[in-house]
Amino acid sequence: EGVLDTSAPIWVRNVEFAPNATEATIRAHASVLVSGVYYLIFSSCDFDTGDVLISGNTVWANPYGFLPGELYPFLPFFGTMCIAYLVLAFVWGILCLKHRPVLLPLQSHIGGVLLLGLLETGVWYLDYQSFNGGGIRGVAPVVCGVLVSSCKKTVSRLLVLSVCLGYGVVRPA
Protein backbone atom coordinates (compact mmCIF):
# COMPACT_ATOMS: atom_id res chain seq x y z
CA GLU A 1 0.00 0.00 0.00
CA GLY A 2 1.15 3.54 -0.60
CA VAL A 3 2.91 5.58 -3.21
CA LEU A 4 4.48 3.74 -6.11
CA ASP A 5 8.25 4.18 -6.20
CA THR A 6 8.90 5.00 -9.85
CA SER A 7 12.68 4.73 -9.41
CA ALA A 8 12.35 1.00 -8.72
CA PRO A 9 11.63 -0.94 -11.90
CA ILE A 10 9.52 -3.60 -10.14
CA TRP A 11 6.98 -3.31 -7.34
CA VAL A 12 6.56 -6.74 -5.76
CA ARG A 13 3.65 -7.87 -3.61
CA ASN A 14 3.85 -11.33 -2.07
CA VAL A 15 0.74 -13.41 -1.49
CA GLU A 16 0.90 -15.65 1.53
CA PHE A 17 -1.24 -18.79 1.57
CA ALA A 18 -2.47 -20.21 4.86
CA PRO A 19 -1.59 -23.89 5.43
CA ASN A 20 -3.73 -26.13 3.17
CA ALA A 21 -5.52 -23.07 1.73
CA THR A 22 -6.40 -22.91 -1.94
CA GLU A 23 -7.29 -19.21 -2.02
CA ALA A 24 -5.58 -16.04 -0.90
CA THR A 25 -6.53 -12.40 -1.21
CA ILE A 26 -4.31 -9.44 -1.82
CA ARG A 27 -5.44 -5.86 -1.63
CA ALA A 28 -2.92 -3.39 -2.92
CA HIS A 29 -3.25 0.29 -3.67
CA ALA A 30 -0.59 2.41 -5.29
CA SER A 31 -0.76 6.09 -6.10
CA VAL A 32 1.06 6.84 -9.33
CA LEU A 33 2.54 10.32 -9.20
CA VAL A 34 4.35 10.31 -12.55
CA SER A 35 2.62 9.87 -15.90
CA GLY A 36 3.82 7.04 -18.05
CA VAL A 37 3.23 3.48 -19.12
CA TYR A 38 2.82 0.96 -16.32
CA TYR A 39 2.45 -2.81 -16.61
CA LEU A 40 0.59 -5.12 -14.25
CA ILE A 41 2.10 -8.60 -14.24
CA PHE A 42 1.04 -11.59 -12.14
CA SER A 43 3.55 -14.37 -11.64
CA SER A 44 3.62 -17.62 -9.69
CA CYS A 45 7.25 -18.25 -8.83
CA ASP A 46 6.91 -21.26 -6.51
CA PHE A 47 7.25 -24.45 -8.55
CA ASP A 48 5.74 -26.54 -5.73
CA THR A 49 2.30 -24.95 -6.03
CA GLY A 50 1.47 -26.56 -9.36
CA ASP A 51 -1.18 -24.93 -11.52
CA VAL A 52 -2.28 -21.51 -10.30
CA LEU A 53 -5.50 -19.76 -11.28
CA ILE A 54 -5.42 -16.01 -10.78
CA SER A 55 -8.66 -14.07 -10.91
CA GLY A 56 -9.75 -10.68 -9.71
CA ASN A 57 -10.37 -7.10 -10.66
CA THR A 58 -8.07 -4.19 -11.24
CA VAL A 59 -9.25 -0.62 -11.19
CA TRP A 60 -7.26 2.13 -12.89
CA ALA A 61 -8.51 5.63 -12.22
CA ASN A 62 -7.06 9.02 -13.03
CA PRO A 63 -7.46 12.04 -10.76
CA TYR A 64 -10.22 13.33 -13.06
CA GLY A 65 -12.08 10.00 -13.42
CA PHE A 66 -11.93 6.75 -15.34
CA LEU A 67 -11.54 8.12 -18.87
CA PRO A 68 -8.16 7.39 -20.44
CA GLY A 69 -6.02 10.45 -21.06
CA GLU A 70 -6.56 10.43 -24.83
CA LEU A 71 -10.36 10.40 -24.42
CA TYR A 72 -10.68 12.96 -21.64
CA PRO A 73 -10.63 16.07 -23.93
CA PHE A 74 -13.75 14.71 -25.68
CA LEU A 75 -15.81 15.22 -22.51
CA PRO A 76 -15.67 19.05 -22.40
CA PHE A 77 -15.63 19.19 -26.22
CA PHE A 78 -18.92 17.33 -26.62
CA GLY A 79 -20.44 19.23 -23.68
CA THR A 80 -19.56 22.55 -25.31
CA MET A 81 -20.74 21.36 -28.72
CA CYS A 82 -24.05 20.21 -27.22
CA ILE A 83 -24.63 23.66 -25.72
CA ALA A 84 -23.63 25.32 -29.01
CA TYR A 85 -26.04 23.10 -30.98
CA LEU A 86 -28.78 23.85 -28.44
CA VAL A 87 -28.33 27.61 -28.81
CA LEU A 88 -28.06 27.39 -32.60
CA ALA A 89 -31.15 25.16 -32.89
CA PHE A 90 -33.11 27.52 -30.62
CA VAL A 91 -32.15 30.59 -32.68
CA TRP A 92 -32.85 28.69 -35.94
CA GLY A 93 -36.25 27.61 -34.63
CA ILE A 94 -37.20 31.16 -33.63
CA LEU A 95 -36.16 32.50 -37.04
CA CYS A 96 -38.06 29.71 -38.83
CA LEU A 97 -41.21 30.53 -36.84
CA LYS A 98 -40.80 34.22 -37.59
CA HIS A 99 -40.42 33.64 -41.34
CA ARG A 100 -42.79 30.67 -41.59
CA PRO A 101 -44.85 31.95 -44.58
CA VAL A 102 -41.81 32.22 -46.84
CA LEU A 103 -39.89 29.23 -45.48
CA LEU A 104 -38.42 26.82 -48.03
CA PRO A 105 -38.51 23.06 -47.36
CA LEU A 106 -34.73 23.08 -47.48
CA GLN A 107 -34.63 25.33 -44.42
CA SER A 108 -36.80 22.90 -42.47
CA HIS A 109 -34.39 20.11 -43.37
CA ILE A 110 -31.49 22.24 -42.11
CA GLY A 111 -33.33 22.49 -38.80
CA GLY A 112 -33.55 18.69 -38.78
CA VAL A 113 -29.79 18.43 -39.25
CA LEU A 114 -29.32 20.83 -36.33
CA LEU A 115 -31.53 18.63 -34.14
CA LEU A 116 -29.60 15.53 -35.21
CA GLY A 117 -26.35 17.33 -34.32
CA LEU A 118 -27.78 18.23 -30.92
CA LEU A 119 -28.81 14.61 -30.35
CA GLU A 120 -25.42 13.32 -31.53
CA THR A 121 -23.34 15.56 -29.27
CA GLY A 122 -25.69 14.93 -26.36
CA VAL A 123 -25.38 11.15 -26.73
CA TRP A 124 -21.57 11.30 -26.97
CA TYR A 125 -21.36 13.64 -23.97
CA LEU A 126 -23.53 11.33 -21.86
CA ASP A 127 -21.48 8.33 -23.01
CA TYR A 128 -18.19 9.91 -21.97
CA GLN A 129 -19.68 11.26 -18.73
CA SER A 130 -20.98 7.80 -17.82
CA PHE A 131 -17.66 6.16 -18.70
CA ASN A 132 -15.73 8.75 -16.68
CA GLY A 133 -17.95 8.32 -13.63
CA GLY A 134 -18.27 4.55 -13.49
CA GLY A 135 -15.33 3.15 -15.39
CA ILE A 136 -17.50 0.94 -17.59
CA ARG A 137 -18.42 1.92 -21.13
CA GLY A 138 -21.81 0.70 -22.22
CA VAL A 139 -22.44 -0.69 -25.68
CA ALA A 140 -25.85 0.96 -26.17
CA PRO A 141 -24.65 4.60 -25.95
CA VAL A 142 -21.82 3.91 -28.39
CA VAL A 143 -24.15 2.20 -30.89
CA CYS A 144 -26.70 5.00 -30.50
CA GLY A 145 -24.00 7.65 -30.97
CA VAL A 146 -22.64 5.98 -34.09
CA LEU A 147 -26.13 5.59 -35.60
CA VAL A 148 -27.09 9.21 -34.91
CA SER A 149 -23.73 10.41 -36.30
CA SER A 150 -24.26 8.38 -39.46
CA CYS A 151 -27.81 9.70 -39.89
CA LYS A 152 -26.67 13.29 -39.43
CA LYS A 153 -23.85 12.92 -41.94
CA THR A 154 -26.16 11.23 -44.44
CA VAL A 155 -28.89 13.86 -44.17
CA SER A 156 -26.42 16.76 -44.34
CA ARG A 157 -24.74 15.29 -47.43
CA LEU A 158 -28.12 14.77 -49.07
CA LEU A 159 -28.91 18.43 -48.35
CA VAL A 160 -25.66 19.53 -49.98
CA LEU A 161 -26.45 17.32 -52.97
CA SER A 162 -29.97 18.73 -53.28
CA VAL A 163 -28.64 22.31 -53.15
CA CYS A 164 -26.08 21.45 -55.84
CA LEU A 165 -28.89 20.08 -58.00
CA GLY A 166 -30.91 23.24 -57.43
CA TYR A 167 -33.74 21.69 -55.39
CA GLY A 168 -35.34 24.04 -52.91
CA VAL A 169 -32.99 26.93 -53.54
CA VAL A 170 -35.63 29.19 -55.08
CA ARG A 171 -39.38 29.33 -54.73
CA PRO A 172 -41.32 28.59 -57.96
CA ALA A 173 -43.22 31.57 -59.38
- The DSSP-derived string for 108-135 is HHHHHHHHHHHHHHHHHHHHHHHHHHHS
Q: Is residue 23 part of a domain?
A: no
3-state secondary structure of 38: coil
Residues in the chain: 173
Least confident of 5-14, 18-27, 66-75, 153-162: 5-14
| Domain total in the chain | 1
Evaluate whether residue 123 is within a structural domain.
Answer: yes
Residue 159 lies in a domain: yes
Residue 52 lies in a domain: no
Does some domain include residue 20? no
The whole domain housing 121 covers 74-164
Q: What is the pLDDT of residue 22?
A: 77
For 73-97, the pLDDT digits (tens) are: 999 999 999 999 999 999 999 999 9
Provide the mean pLDDT of the chain: 86
Taking the model in full, what pTM does it have? 0.75
| pLDDT exceeds cutoff 80 at 14 | no
Quote the percentage of the chain above a pLDDT of 70.
Answer: 93
In a domain, 60, yes or no: no
**pLDDT-derived band at 4, boundaries 50, 70, 90:** low
Q: Answer yes or no: is 139 within a domain.
A: yes
Q: Note the pLDDT tens digit of each residue in 109-161.
A: 999 999 999 999 999 999 999 999 988 888 999 999 999 999 999 999 999 99
In a domain? residue 101: yes
Provide the H-helix boundaries in the chain: 74-98, 105-134, 139-164
